[in-house]
Every structure is written in C-alpha cells, then in structure tokens.
Structure 1
Amino acid sequence: MFKGELMLKDKRAVIFDLDGTLVDSMWIWREIDERFLGQYGLQVPDGLNDFLEGFSFNETAEYFKNNFPLPLSVQEIKDTWNRMACEMYMNEIPLKEGAKEFLDILKEKKLPLGIATSNSRELTNACLDAHGIGEYFQYICTSNEVPKGKPAPDVYLKTAEELSVSPEHILVFEDIPYGIMAGNSANMTTCAVRDSYSQAVTEKKKELADYYIDTYFDIINGTYQSV
C-alpha cells in the first residue's frame, strides 16, 4: 500500500536531480578527477569537489581548463570525461533504494516526470537507459542548456515550462544543498534525499527542504520526515 499520498497532495509533476538523488553516483567523480589529472602529473586539490558543487558539466570543464595546465580544449575535456564515466554509469552505478518502485507509482498516477541535472546529456541518457527508466521521463534538462546552473532555479524552471506545470504544483528531489536551494528558488516543494557523499551536511539539507528521506521506501511506507 502506498502511504505517501500527503507528499503528493496538489502535485501535478515531479522533477528529480540525477546524481546522488536517483542514482548512487557521486563517488565516481573524485575517482575520475584523480585519473584524469593524474594523466598529466597533476593532483586533485583538497576541497575541489565541494567548491564545484552546483557547477554545470560545461562550467566544470571551463574551470579545469582555466585552472590546470591541460593541453586540451574545453570540448576535449568534456569528451574525455564522458568516455571515462560512461562505462561506470552503465555498469557500476546503482539506482537509489526504492527509486524504481517509486517511479512505478508515479507512472501509475500519470504524473509527468522530469530530470533537472548538472550532468551532461550524454551521461544522463546513458544512465537512464542502463537502468531501463528513460521512458518514465517526459523531459530532461541539463544545466548546460540554461543560463545559470544550480543554485539558480533556471534548470528547474525550464523543466517546469516544458512539462507545462506551474512551479508551485511540482515536487523536487535533490541530494545537495545547492540543488535544494535551486528548487526552493523556483517556488517548488523540495525533498532532500540521503546520500553518503553529502552526509556531512545532512542537517543543512533538512533545514532547506520541506521533506527528508533516507530511501524512496520512506515515501512508499509513509515514514518520510517533514522538516
């Protein structure tokens, strides 16, 4: 029995972030950064991933180009990252616990679904296809396709526009503070998702969001937190 009806009350669409929210993937980027920079005898500076939180895929590549002595263009950096990450996204990245079951419930309710991600479209599509859930989503927007990345609301507002649903009737799922801030700035209801990568800022996530879940089974079972 589905016990999360209250969370979905008056909601006409649901939008998900991808990394750390729908899939357990945040850990791979530290590894990719180490491998990528290591090819050029460079090390990953302490705090780099935290500094780049919320950057779009393109903005991150531009930062690397401007701050590391790399013999590559921005496009070549992005192409290299896509190649390095694609196999991992397709073979090593699991869905978050209960995500598929929750998506099935939303599909049964005929709620339009969207993805609003800072990742690249290539990796987003590869990840969704690998898990057989691409068909669940009516629209996918990446931060590369809007003027500003998270915490600006652009990627969420664009997704809402394409889904033809007013922001106040949309529920957003996010795993990091910048993403939650983006959903809040878009005037959407936000639910924070537990992720080991952002465990240290769990209380901050709870302060920012309307709801908090450890897994999507919390929604199904009615054990989610209103925060």
Structure 2
Amino acid sequence: MKNIQGAIFDLDGTLIDSMTIWEKIDYDFLSKRNLKVPSDLKNKIETLTFEEGANFFKKNFKLKESPEEILKEWHNMVVKEYSHNIKLKNNVKDFLIKLKNKGVKLAVATSNTPELTKLVLEKNKILDLFDSITTISEVNRNKTFPDIYILCAKKLNLPPEKCAVFEDILPAIKSAKEAKMKTIGIYDDSSKDQENKIKEIADYYIYDYKELII
C-alpha cells in the first residue's frame, strides 16, 4: 500500500460487523408477511441502494406497501441496532488511527443512509477520524459501478490512483478496480462464498485489520 494517500472504506461488513443484522431484518420483514427468504436473496440485493432494494422487494414479493413504506419500516427496524448493538470489526479503530497518523485521508463509501452511517460511526467513536462520507444517494448508480469511489476521491482532492478501497463483496471490488484504485478485500462471514473470487482480483485480502497494523 505504498504511495496511498487516501483510504476509502465500505461501511457494512467492512468497518462494522452488521451483515447478520441485515439478514435478520430481511427474515423478520418477510416472515411477518408469511413469506420465505429465497436462498439467493443476499446476492441479488447486496449492491442495491435502499430505494432499489425497496422496489425489488415490492416487485418480487408482490407487496401491497409502497417502496416508501417499506423503507420506513426497514429504518424503524434497524435504527435501534445501529444505535446500541453494532460494533466495529476487530482492530478497525487501531488501523484507522495508524493511517491517520501517517497523513492518509480517510473516507466512507456506503450504500447505507447518511443518518445510519453517522449514527453507528459516532456510537463507535470513529466518526471524527473520517475526512468525508459519501453515500450511494449522492450518485446515480449503485456499487456495481465505480461512481461512488470516483466521487470519494474527488472529495479527498486525490487522483483515484492514490486511493485504496476496502470492501467485503466482489461486485464492489470490481468497481473499485475499474476506478483505477488499489483494492483490499475484507473477509466477512456473509460473503465468504465470494472469498476465492475476491482474492483473484483484489490487490490484498485480509481476515483481520491487525494484518495491516505493523
């Protein structure tokens, strides 16, 4: 990671250990309506924005609720978890402080909402470490495209080639590579089925941030 001046982090599954919460929310949301969770649901929605996800649920599960009503219910279900229960992945804070001490600019690039992102980062006492936060709502396309990473680099006033992206899912790693950035794959239980493919294309792959703290 020599010559890297900016580090861009995904939120869920990369900085915070939250993916099981989202799987539970999907399960609870559908079970409440006597619907089963399809085995391939995670892979179909992992890169979608909240709005795209709500539209996907309405169409594929033939829900009577509007996308706006679905979004509101999801938000109400998850806000308590983000306020109290979701923790950082192991050794995240120490690694962020190490980068900050080296003069590396830090950013978040997330499909989550601005409110939940700031809430969980503040609760875990790392919000002030970041120079910028970019959510998918600020660009027109989801993380299967490089737009969000390019915008992050612009906010940091850095060329993409001087930035490294930390992500836990394959489509996002591919998009970051397309943006000409270094990529670090982060292991997460929810995406372990993608582990080998991520290793094939990412510049680095880690199971714990302590591997990067030297």
Q: Quick check: TM above 0.5?
A: yes
How far the C-alpha of 1:32 sits from its partner, in A, is 0.2
Aligned-pair CA distance for 1:176: 0.7
Q: Which moved more, 1:140-149 or 1:203-212?
A: 140-149
Counterpart check, 1:55 vs 2:48 = yes
Match of 1:158 among 151, 159, 167: 151
Q: Give distance in 2, aligned partners of 1:52 and 1:93.
A: 21
Letter in 1 for 2:15: L
For structure 1, the residue ranges without an aligned partner over 5 or more in a row are 1-6, 222-227
Query: How much has 1:46 moved relative to structure 2?
Result: 2.0
Deviates more, 1:49-58 or 1:9-18: 49-58
Secondary structure of the residue aligned to 1:21 is coil
Contact 1:153–1:186 (CA<8 Å) still a contact in 2? yes
Greater Cα shift, 181-190 or 64-73 = 64-73
Contact 1:82 1:122 in 2 (8 A): no
Q: Which residue of 2 aligns with 1:190?
A: 183
Q: How many angstroms apart in 1 are the aligned matches of 2:186 and 2:20?
A: 15
Within the candidate set 39, 52, 59, 1:46 is matched to: 39
Residues 177 and 183 in structure 2, CA contact (< 8 A), matched pair in contact too: yes
Letter in 1 for 2:95: F
* 8 Å CA contact 1:23, 1:93 repeated in 2: yes
Could you tell me how far apart the structure 1 residues matched to 2:32 and 2:114 are?
25
Matches within 5 A, 1:8-19: 9-19=2-12
1:33 partner letter: D
Deviates further, 101-110 or 18-27: 101-110
Indicate the residue corresponding to 1:97 in structure 2: 90
In structure 2, the gaps of 5 or more residues are none
SS at match of 1:192: strand
Q: CA deviation at 1:162?
A: 1.2
- Residues in 2 aligned to 1:166 and 1:208: alpha-carbon distance in whole angstroms: 21
How far did residue 91 of structure 1 move? Answer: 2.0
**CA-atom RMSD in angstroms:** 1.3
* TM superposition shift of 1:18: 0.6
Structure-2 separation of matches of 1:192 and 1:179: 10
Aligned residues: 214
SS at match of 1:71: coil
Residue by residue, what CA displacement relative to the aligned partner does 1:171-213 show, whole Å, maximum 9, x if unpaired?
Answer: 1101110111111011100000111111122111101100111
Please point out which of 194, 199, 209 is paired with 1:201: 194
Residue deviations 1:14-64 (CA, integer Å, cap 9, x gap): 100011111111111111011112222222222111111211122111111
In the alignment, which residue of structure 1 is the partner of 2:209?
A: 216
| SS of equivalent residue, structure 1 residue 113 | strand
1:132 aligns with 2:125: yes
Please name the residue that 1:73 is paired with: 66
Q: Does 1:83 align with 2:76?
A: yes
Contact 1:58-1:144 within 8 A present in 2 as well: no
* TM-score normalised by the chain length of structure 1: 0.90
Structure 2 residue identity aligned to 1:133: I
Residue in structure 1 matched with residue 112 of structure 2 by the alignment: 119
Equivalent-residue separation in structure 2 for 1:182 and 1:198 (angstroms):
17
| Structure-2 residue corresponding to 1:23 | 16
Percent identity, aligned pairs only, is 43
Counterpart residue number, 1:3: none
SS at match of 1:14: strand
SS across alignment from 2:108: strand
